[in-house]
Amino acid sequence: MPEMPEVEVIRRYLDTKLRGRRIESLDIFLPRQIKYPDPNAYKAMCTGQKIANVNRRGKYLLLELSNGVELVFHLRMTGRLVYHEREDENDDTHTRLIFHLDGGSILVFGDTRTFGALYALDTPAERWRIHGLATLGPEPLTEEFSAGYLWERTRRSHAPIKSFLLNQTMIAGIGNIYADEALFLAKIHPLTKANALTQADCEALQLAVDQVIADGIRDGGTTFRDYQNGEGKQGLHQEHLYVYNREGEPCRRCGTKIEKIKVGGRGTHFCPHCQEMKPHA
DNA sequence: CTAAGTACCTGTCCGC
DNA sequence: TGCGGACAGGTACTTA
């Protein structure tokens, strides 16, 4: 479900609600979603601790506790983290874990498909234990994510640019929706080999990625089915998408019908006119 | 190393 | 209505 903009929207809300709150107890309904350490150790590491703040890296949500422990959440396809003032407000039919907080409020982890992954680390220095977290590339909207960076990293990749964008070791946080949207804005065909991009393409792509990510956050994320923000509400960015989930509908720029193909096993949407494949020498 | 295919799950939608 | 198959905001693992 959530890509970087959705996780960032959740983070911002939860940070306002959870900062300074104490975790009194934990109900674990599906222990296999706790990947490290074992569920009993996990429980011991957070019970009685205060939440110092809520952070994010790529699509990972990070709760920093007063004892230095870092609780790590990856929501994968259908995970949700929703805060409720009272326990009886929770109507999630796929509740997998509940943190009971001071004053009777709760933080609910719900997950329909149960792909989500939870971890507790003694300190942030232990992030190496989570391979996907330790190997993340630069974040969009930072100085490190530049046209020059894209130019350098694409030189060595024969993968389609769509697959390159989904590779979290290249850029942190882009998922299937925002990859398609960014390629549309940058006018690049998704099957273009990464190392066939020009420097001008890399400049356009860096701007496009930053724009779609910023727009997604501004609109509170994109909701098709499962995504909810930390308040249990839907996002609005689905109203502003250019190509994702718009197969057969007219391109907002030129009116040509949006096409859907498979790239690297993922559904991929693009405008065949605006994103024409360039012939290469 | 990269690349491709499969696995992990549940729910929904579409065609017959 | 019912059934089968494809598909879904993701990543990790196995195999070539």
Read off the pLDDT of residues A60-80 as tens digits, 9 standing for 90 and up.
Answer: 999 999 999 999 999 999 999
Nearest nucleotide to A114 (CA to C1') is B9
Cβ(A136)–Cβ(A169) below 8 Å: yes
Find the Å distance, CA of residue A265 to C1' of nucleotide B7: 14
In tens, the pLDDT along A146-199 reads: 999 999 999 999 999 999 999 999 999 999 999 999 999 999 999 999 999 999
In order of A149, A157, A189, the CA distances from A170 in angstroms are 9, 10, 19
Contact A54, A62 (CB under 8 A): yes
Task: Please state whether strand B lies within 7 Å of residue A156 at its CB atom.
Answer: yes
Residue A44: name the closest of A120, A98, A117, A102 by CA.
A120
Q: How far is CA A23 from the centre of its chain?
A: 25
Q: Which nucleotide is nearest to A168 (CA to C1')?
A: C11
**Of residues A145, A147, A156, A148, the one with CA closest to residue A195:** A156
Q: Does the CB of A224 sit below 7 A from strand C? A: yes
Provide φ and ψ at A62, rounded to 5°: -130, 120
Amino acid at A109: F
- How many CA atoms does the CB half-sphere of A65 hold within 13 Å? 22
pLDDT of residue A280: 60
For A208-223, write each residue's pLDDT tens digit: 999 999 999 999 999 8
Confidence of residue A226 (pLDDT cuts 50, 70, 90): confident
Say yes or no: Cβ of A77 under 7 A from any atom of strand C: yes
pLDDT grade, residue A1 (50/70/90)? low
Condensed to tens digits (0 to 9), the pLDDT of residues A98-135 reads 999 999 999 999 999 999 999 999 999 999 999 999 99
pLDDT value at position A104? Answer: 97
CB A110 within 8 A of CB A92: yes
- The verdict on whether omega for the bond into residue A37 sits within 30 degrees of 0, i.e. cis, is yes
Q: Please report, for residues A152, A168, A204, A244, the alpha-carbon distance to residue A39 in angstroms, rounded to integers and kept in the order given.
A: 42, 28, 46, 38
Is the pLDDT reported for residue A229 higher than 90?
A: no
Q: Which ranges of A90-175 would DSSP assign to H, the alpha helix?
A: 131-134, 147-154, 161-166
Pairing of strands A259-263, A106-111: unpaired
Distance A119 CA to B6 C1' (A): 25
Q: How many residues does chain A have?
A: 281
**Share above pLDDT 90 across residues of chain A, in percent, rounded to a whole number:** 93
Non-local (6+) Cβ contacts of A220 within 8 A are: A9, A229, A233, A234, A235, A236, A237
Nearest Cα residue to A233 out of A21, A83, A62:
A83
Condensed to tens digits (0 to 9), the pLDDT of residues A23-35 reads 999 999 999 999 9
Top pLDDT among A6 and A228 is at A6
A265 pLDDT exceeds 70?
yes
- Report field, pTM of the whole predicted structure over 0.95: yes
- Strand (E) positions, A122-238? none
pLDDT at A281: 47
Catalytic residue list of A: 2-3, 59, 266
